[in-house]
Chain A
Amino acid sequence: MFTEMIPEVGHFALVIALLMAAVQAIMPLAGAATRRPLWMAYGRPMAAGQFLFLLIAYGCLTASYMLDDFSVANVANNSNTMLPWYYKLSAVWGNHEGSVLLWSLMLAGWGFVASIFSRQLPRDMVARVMGVLGAVSVGFLLFVLVTSNPFDRLLPNMPQDGADLNPLLQDFGLVVHPPMLYMGYVGFSVVFAFAIAALLGGRLDAAWTRWARPWTNIAWAFLTVGIALGSWWAYYELGWGGWWFWDPVENASLLPWLTGTALIHSLAVTEKRGSFKSWTVLLAIATFSLSLMGTFLVRSGVLTSVHAFANDPARGFFILMLLAITVTLSLLVFALRAPRVSHKVGFNWLSRDALLLINNILLVIMTVTVLLGTLYPLILDSLGLGKISVGPPYFNALFVPLMAVTSIFMGLGPVARWKRMAAKELYTKLWLAGVVALVLGALIPVFYGPEWNVWVALGMLMALWIVLPILRDIWDKTRNARSFGAGLKKLSLTYWGMVLGHLGVAFTIVGVAVVSHYNIERNVRMGPGDSVEVAGYHFTMTELSSRRGPNFLADTAEIEVQRGENGRQFTMQPEKRLYLATGMPMTQVALRAGFFRDLYVAMGEDLGDGSWAMRIQHKPLVRWLWLGGLLMAAGGLLAVADKRYRRTRVRQQKYASENTGASSSNRASKEALA
């Protein structure tokens, strides 16, 4: 009896969550505007309630999946009695309706956590933050209920069994990739709420930026991991070893990542130096807006992409309205409330302020370039100027030089001082790093890889120029301590976060440069007994066999691999599968992963005479790509753990006043003289 009602309970819980979100949006904002503490106090309980009821709704949908309730359209379309239980769990968000529900749940979750961790904040600030988050929730819950209800029933004609989950989605990478990405997208809503609250409250001081920084870092870390996972999944499942295709959907996730990266840096300037205030607020708004726009682009059918969801113009229209209302209102608030007067905080050419300004401008140029490349074909088409495509060659042509310039400044930034710095000091600190980077950058490709390659050399130079100045800086900072260990301990976690983040960028650059140019690929004809040598590895096919999997037929090749003459032997087993339900052929790649190289073997076609076309690739340092992403994310999280974000309010105020420009600059100039 009860189990039959589960979808209705879920639906009902969604409606209650919507009502609570509406109260959460209206009461605290009205209370803050009219200075009524009672109204303002609605924020926290409503955030908790909304989260609870969304948990119930999400639990109900999950239950429908686990119980194979095919009277629910969503379950019938995306699951099957044969599906293993863990894929039933993940099938919940493997489709449009379920994923929007997950989005909403995460939004409520972030709101709930924000309400808990904001106890030290002024009451009206909390009220406004909760109000803004509530308003965003209202939009998304309306979207779920009006256009994408996951609890729609197929009564009375319910199917006996469900259509299966797309085989491409039956994979660990795709189980974890969407939730990570959504956590990132949604997490930026908290930062957005802080920015709007600061604008509404007229308190655009260093305080809001200090509150917003940990949230920004966490959201950004999730987004970074999400993007890296997506790239990793594409690498082993989608293509022929490609890891980034500049596909519109990938670009949609890259846009908020770029502005989010800019935001992390500009928040640092605003908190430490009190400058770039309006700019930081604008970036916070832009980052969340781009997250919303990514959702729109992926789900509206405006773009052609490999990854786009099943499209529906009605949904597209709803998300566009949601996007338009959110962004218009917030930019309007920005235009009306951003400070007209700003105290000019002074800095010089050689200063961390100037370098971070350049960093922000570069990141914004990258963002606009990616957006332009993604939308330009649509613009031309709308103007009746024909159909063109903008793809990897365009993006690479612009992104590589922009990244090269950025890395120059990434080398300077960590060692530079705020406000001003003597050119001579900078030179003393960096000349050695520069020389070593140049020499090693040019030499490494001589010894490593099949031939010297200018792009690999450039990549090495960039990475070394990012890493070496940081090492020098750590050495400088620990030199005067009693011991090296004691010196390291004195460095703050924020600093270590920066180190890890930049190290991650360096890793990714090296990975990209090396695998793009030293990748070795050979297509060969192979039958049992045949042997081929690729990049010093001997690949010998020992056996060809057929097997039957749970829902597919497969041809499997057994390949013995040995490095050199006496290296360790291991086997690789690529497969060509035919999924029975859909008749879809799929290539199951055999991967031998390693820190320094991946071996990648894929089966092509049966050539008829007992041999197969095989694609064998040697991909040096390809793991560094994603390792870099993980390091960046770890850096973002490490910085959050810093003590100063846990200080009480009183101490925060003290901290704020002692850290404003004048006093710290005095300190800086004294140090410079010394």
Chain B
Amino acid sequence: MALNRWLIAILLLLLAGSALGAVEIREFEDPVTKQRYQDLTASMRCPLCENQAINDSDAPISGDMRERVYQLLQDGKSDTEIINHMVQRFGEYILYNPRLENRTYLLWGIPVVLVLLGILLVVWMVRARRNASATSLSTEERARLDELINRERSS
């Protein structure tokens, strides 16, 4: 593990001297393609860096990947084709937007389930509380109950 870290340090040092930059001047036929280019490069993770999208990183591999995305767009490939092209080479790891599949059902599902549970909880609680308000306690009763509860707690 220590060795691996050392290695990464070396890899990162390699980057420093590299001549590739992050600002490329690209021509697009239409604004839609430009937007697609921006969205695609924003949603792919640089495989070398700690945690950066390829449009955000100076790493040479990010430059190569941006160039490839641009080329594929020029070739008229669809977004899915471009994404598949990249995943084939660099793995699912580079997708910031993980695909919906067996292993990611819970990732997408849990928030949805939580929302449903939340709705149920609110309905259930308000119903319970609404009935409680019918038999609400007077101030004296409440004070006595408070006292009882406190006595139970502190004993």
Contact = CB atoms under 8 A, between A and B. Distances in A.
A345 B129 contact: yes
Contact of A347 (B22, B23, B129, B149): B129
A389 B133 contact: no
A389 B98 contact: yes
A240 B23 CA distance: 10
Interface in B45-81: 45, 49-53, 55-56
Nearest to A582: B16
A613 B24 CA distance: 7
Contacts of B51: 245, 247-248, 304-306
Contacts of A242: 56
B142 A346 contact: no
B98 A344 contact: no
B133 A419 contact: yes
Contacts of B3: none
Given A239-B56, A242-B56, A373-B107, A361 B132 contact: no
B65 to A, nearest CB: 14
Contacts of B143: 657, 660
Contact of B21 (A343, A402, A613): A613
Interface residues of B, number: 62
Interface in B9-53: 16-17, 19-26, 42-43, 45, 49-53
Contacts of B110: 368-369, 372
A426 interface: no
Contacts of B132: 344-346
Contacts of B126: 347-349, 354, 357
A369 B152 CA distance: 38
Contacts of A347: 126, 129-130, 133
A574 to B, nearest CB: 11
A535 B26 CA distance: 19
B107 A346 contact: no
Contact of A525 (B25, B92, B134, B145): B25
A176 interface: no
A524 interface: yes
A348 B97 contact: no
A192 B21 CA distance: 48
A665 B130 CA distance: 13
B52 A306 contact: yes
A354 B91 contact: no
Contacts of B103: 380, 385-386, 388
Interface string A334-376: 0001010101111111000110011001101100110011001
Contacts of B145: 343
A21 to B, nearest CB: 27
B107 A524 contact: no
A274 B142 CA distance: 10
A417 to B, nearest CB: 13
Interface string A655-667: 0010011110100
A368 B112 CA distance: 11
A280 to B, nearest CB: 15
Contacts of A585: 16
A552 to B, nearest CB: 14
A584 interface: yes
Contacts of B94: 389
A205 interface: yes
23 contacts: A202-B153, A205-B150, A304-B50, A306-B52, A346-B131, A348-B126, A358-B118, A358-B122, A361-B121, A362-B118, A368-B111, A369-B110, A385-B103, A387-B91, A391-B53, A393-B43, A394-B97, A585-B16, A604-B21, A660-B139, A661-B137, A662-B136, A662-B142
Interface of B: 16-17, 19-26, 42-43, 45, 49-53, 55-56, 91-98, 103-104, 106-107, 110-111, 114-115, 118, 121-122, 125-126, 128-134, 136-139, 142-143, 145-146, 149-150, 152-155
Given A306-B52, A665-B136, 16 more contacts: A306-B49, A343-B145, A344-B132, A346-B132, A354-B122, A361-B118, A372-B111, A373-B107, A385-B103, A397-B97, A398-B111, A604-B23, A605-B20, A613-B21, A615-B23, A662-B142
The 10 closest A-B pairs by CB, nearest first: A202-B153, A346-B133, A604-B23, A391-B96, A344-B132, A393-B97, A605-B21, A346-B132, A202-B154, A613-B23
